[in-house]
Amino acid sequence: MELIKTTSSLEETIGLEKTSPFIEANTIECSIEELEQKHIIPVFSKDNEAVISHLDFIKTTHLAACNIFGESYVNEPIIRVSHPIKGRIPEARNKPVNKLTEDEKTIYYERMAFIIEIPGIKEMVDGNLLSLTVGGVKAYNLDNLNTRYSPQQFKYFIGFKNKVCTNLCISTDGTIKDQQVLELDHLYKSISEHFLDYDLMTELELYKSFGHFFLSENELAQVLGKARLYNHLPNSYKKDIPPILLNDTQWNSIARGVYSDENFKSTTTEGIDGWRLYNLLTGANKTSYIDSFVDRGENCTSFIKLLADAKFRNRNVWYLN
């Protein structure tokens, strides 16, 4: 298989993301300039040592991507933030909130997610154009900022973005979920090694295989029903069942999408193929909060792999039994 490889264009850089964010939930869009000029940087309270900031993380990932894939192939980051932490400068400590001026307010966001598209590396999968994409998630609530300078936790990934809907295709092989680092140099090295180790050709073959299995209407109903049951099973029952992390509201969205999604609704009343179902799952994941977004995204891939394995190899899977 030969990948399509072209330099990115301005049109690709500012395309669908403006109207279709890669994650929605309670997030808002944020620019590099805003992070740089308006956001304060949290510190470890015991020694007033600055954390590795959201901006540091994004720039380090962007540098790694440029050095590995070539600067001309790499787009600018697209950033979403949530959970604002508001404050004020000392001189305004006694002012009523409605009297604060903009230069007296301070803010940073506890949680941040970003993607960096590499549109020069892309491939068609079942009629959809996928482009290589890297990204990361940072949540300060996972760090102990009430102590002295200590390792921080980072999540980063490499996978593909479906250009038609900005859904992200990420797997366990493309994700590092709990990297702990003290210094930016260590973070850069870890991210670079992870990107270099990623087998993108194998991943693309996996996504292509999803379009080669089909769930009948009865099988689909069983999968949807048992996926909703899973979240309410006693823990003793769950231990032998591969987990599904999407919630009931997201499964309702998936069920609705089978018949109404603009891009991935079933083309027949008799069931749905695995690629369409996978994109309904990753589309529902866009409503996850930042701190669960990566985990659920890779779980979507694992879940469809499980169904594919059951269909291709005639193996027993609880969701289809």
What pLDDT score does 93 carry? Answer: 86
What pLDDT score does 207 carry? Answer: 97
Give the tokens for residue 252: 């309702």
DSSP per-residue string spanning 252-311: HHHHHHHHH-TTTS-SBTTEEEHHHHHHHHHHHHTTS-HHHHHHHHHHHHHHHHHHHHHH
Are 200 and 174 in contact by the 8 Å Cβ rule? The answer is: no
What pLDDT score does 4 carry? Answer: 52
pLDDT: is 321 or 30 the higher one?
30
Local confidence band at 19 (pLDDT 50, 70, 90 cut-offs): low
**Mean pLDDT, rounded, of the chain:** 92
Q: How far apart are CA 23 and CA 288, in angstroms?
A: 7
Residue 16 has pLDDT above 60, yes or no: no
- 40 phi-psi bin (left φ>0, alpha ψ -120 to 50, beta other): beta
Domain ranges of the chain: 4-199, 211-320
Local confidence band at 10 (pLDDT 50, 70, 90 cut-offs): very low
pLDDT tens-place string over residues 90-107: 888 889 988 889 888 999
Tell me, what amino acid is at 113? A
What pLDDT score does 2 carry? Answer: 43
CB count within 10 Å of CB 172 equals 13
What mean pLDDT comes out for the span 270-290?
97
| 131-134: long-range pairs with CB below 8 Å, 24+ | 131/12, 131/160, 131/161, 131/163, 132/69, 132/158, 132/159, 132/160, 132/200, 133/158, 133/159, 133/160, 133/161, 133/168, 134/61, 134/64, 134/65, 134/158, 134/159, 134/195
β-pairing, 28-30 vs 43-44, is: unpaired
Q: Which of 33, 128, 120 is nearest to 79 (CA)?
A: 33
pLDDT: is 20 or 318 the higher one?
318
The least confident of 13-17, 139-143, 167-171, 242-246 is: 13-17
What mean pLDDT comes out for the span 163-185?
95
At residue 65, φ and ψ (nearest 5 deg) are -65, -45
Give the tokens for residue 174: 């493309």
Are 231 and 247 in contact by the 8 Å Cβ rule? The answer is: yes
Using only C-alpha atoms, the chain has a radius of gyration, in whole angstroms, of: 21
Residue 1 has pLDDT above 70, yes or no: no
Local confidence band at 3 (pLDDT 50, 70, 90 cut-offs): low
Biggest CA–CA distance in the chain, Å, is: 69
pLDDT tens-place string over residues 24-68: 988 999 999 999 999 999 999 888 999 999 999 999 999 999 999
Percent of the chain with pLDDT over 70: 94
| 248-256: long-range pairs with CB below 8 Å, 24+ | 249/287, 250/284, 250/285, 250/287, 250/288, 251/224, 251/227, 251/284, 253/280, 253/283, 253/284, 253/287, 254/224, 254/280, 254/281, 254/283, 254/284, 255/224
What pLDDT score does 17 carry? Answer: 45
Q: How far apart are CA 168 and CA 143, in angstroms?
A: 26
Tokens 């068609």 belong to which residue?
124
What pLDDT score does 314 carry? Answer: 86
What pLDDT score does 293 carry? Answer: 96
What pLDDT score does 130 carry? Answer: 97
What mean pLDDT comes out for the span 208-219?
96
What pLDDT score does 47 carry? Answer: 87
pTM of full prediction above 0.75: yes
Residue 8 has pLDDT above 50, yes or no: no
What pLDDT score does 137 carry? Answer: 97
